A and B are shown apart, each in its own frame.
Chain A
Amino acid sequence: MTLNLCVLTPNRIVWDSEVKEIILSTNSGQIGVLPNHAPIATAVDIGILRIRLNDQWLTMALMGGFARIGNNEITILVNDAEKGSDIDPQEAQQALEIAEANLRKAEGKRQTIEANLALRRARTRVEAINAIS
């Protein structure tokens, strides 16, 4: 049985092809999906997605969204997705440092919410790169 993965962002289709296995970070922890998985719907956290193609693992940074699994079709809807190999390590590291600094400076409820979100996004991007190497 083959498993089809489709990662959609508002701009474009990031991924639409067959995979062997994925590991998805959901709000309640990571779940692995193999062919013939039971149909589920889950919220996807800001985190990394691991994709197995034969024996090769790929990573992707997902910026929060939603996934639907059923009938050997996985549809992941996210705000933004970047392949680990497409992220510039230096730029990501810098963004992480800026985000950390911003969180320290943040005052009030609203700024803290924003800074926290930005920090988690930045951290995910760095993780997506490091997972490869």
Chain B
Amino acid sequence: MSCLNLTMWVSSKPSLSDTSSLSFRSFISPFQLPSQSSTPGNPSRSSSVTPVHCGLRELRDRIDSVKNTQKITEAMKLVAAAKVRRAQEAVVNGRPFSESLVEVLYNINEQLQTEDIDAPLTNVRPVKKVALVVVTGDRGLCGGFNNAIIKKAEARIAELKQLGLDYTIISVGKKGNSYFIRRPYIPVDRFLDGSSLPTAKEAQAIADDVFSLFVSEEVDKVELLYTKFVSLVKSDPVIHTLLPLSPKGEICDVNGVCVDAAEDEFFRLTTREGKLTVEREVMRTQTADFSPILQFEQDPVQILDALLPLYLNSQVLRALQESLASELAARMSAMSNATDNAQELKKTLSIVYNRQRQAKITGEILEIVAGANALV
């Protein structure tokens, strides 16, 4: 505040009291010039730091605004970290279900291996049309997360076009929706909204859509594009074939690499040395033997029919959960970077501010001394 008073006093002194602060600034700038030239030792440093040319008040405003932005980004980072933890909890909660499911599916498959089964969800037809389920986030400010998955989708679309195959999109998440709405030449079957925490209901909505598309033979293959959560700093957009389901309880990606469904990965957020880290745990579900006297109440085909939609659903849910976790992790690192940048910027601005203030004070002292000398 004292600095402000000083500048007001200085500005009023050369009988220019009616000038605005802008003209005052242009007036004060000649004072700065000698001070800068008088210190030839550090012009290189000051030039590297000061692409900032503005007045003291503007500098102060900028420092304040950077401070505020930093607070916001820091808060967003913390919120994202807390949400990652919740996403992890959701995965843990869904675990007993997926474990029992895989266990049952494996056992039934074993028993059905000898029979020739034909369930609608496992029908492998010649592929004419492919449905792509693209899972994006609802919000921005998460680095390249949404872009990465959309780019992956575009690449896949180009690939399908090259193969001469028809395609349709099922878009999940607001960011994807707005992207595809802006591009009317991409056929979109349905827009679905994601949510802050994926539940079975949303997974069901997607699974229902996919199911009816596939069973009514509108499409012959369904692929799920989502971001796989690898670690807090790494996540990969992946393509995962959803339908037709392989009755062996295995799922294959586009390259024909089979991912074992019994391998259940989940991530755990921990703190190590004061920093958040993620541990990824790979669990191999123990497939305990069924009692051999187990009877099937219905036809094995019917039981498989009941099981496979469940399996489909849990696959979709897991993809949603992974995608959400990746989004939050991406936001966390983006916000952490932003906070660091803000810190840096604040430091630079403060240095410039202090230097300018010092220069002005020096100028004023020189002026006063010169005035006093003239009087004597």
Q: A residues engaging B (CB < 8 A)? A: 8-13, 26-28, 31, 38-44, 63-66, 68, 70-71, 75, 77-80, 108-111, 113-114, 117
Contact of A10 among B215, B298, B317 (CB under 8 A): B317
Q: CB distance A8 to B100 under 8 Å? A: yes
Q: B residues engaging A (CB < 8 A)? A: 90, 93-94, 96-98, 100-101, 104, 108, 199-201, 203-204, 208-209, 212-213, 215-216, 218, 290-291, 293-298, 302-303, 305-307, 309-310, 313-314, 317
Q: CB distance A27 to B212 under 8 Å? A: no
CA distance A114 to B218 in the complex (A): 14
Q: CB distance B212 to A10 under 8 Å? A: no
CA distance A10 to B92 in the complex (A): 10
A-B contact pairs, 6 of them (CB 8 A): A10-B203, A27-B298, A66-B303, A68-B100, A109-B216, A113-B212
List, in ascending order, chain A residues with CB within 8 A of B309's CB.
Answer: 64, 79
Q: CB distance A40 to B294 under 8 Å? A: yes
List, in ascending order, chain A residues with CB within 8 A of B108's CB.
Answer: 41
CA distance A28 to B298 in the complex (A): 7
List, in ascending order, chain A residues with CB within 8 A of B94's CB.
Answer: 10-12
Q: CB distance A77 to B310 under 8 Å? A: yes
Contact of B295 among A41, A109, A111 (CB under 8 A): A41
Task: Indicate whether A80 sits within 8 Å of B200 (C-beta atoms), given known contacts A43-B305, A114-B208, A117-B208.
Answer: yes
Q: CB distance A43 to B298 under 8 Å? A: yes
Task: Indicate whether A39 sits within 8 Å of B100 (C-beta atoms), given known contacts A64-B309, A66-B310, A80-B200.
Answer: no
Distance from B192 Cβ to chain A, minimum over Cβ atoms (Å)? 14
Q: CB distance B97 to A8 under 8 Å? A: yes
List, in ascending order, chain B residues with CB within 8 A of A64's CB.
Answer: 306, 309-310
Task: Indicate whether A11 sits within 8 Å of B199 (C-beta atoms), given known contacts A43-B303, A43-B306.
Answer: yes
Task: With A8-B100, A11-B97, A79-B309 given, name 6 new contacts (CB 8 A).
Answer: A10-B317, A28-B297, A39-B291, A39-B293, A43-B305, A110-B218
List, in ascending order, chain A residues with CB within 8 A of B96's CB.
Answer: 8, 13
Task: Indicate whether A26 sits within 8 Å of B215 (C-beta atoms), given known contacts A11-B93, A12-B93, A43-B303.
Answer: no
Distance from A20 Cβ to chain B, minimum over Cβ atoms (Å)? 21
Task: Indicate whether A77 sits within 8 Å of B97 (C-beta atoms), given known contacts A11-B199, A43-B303, A109-B216.
Answer: yes
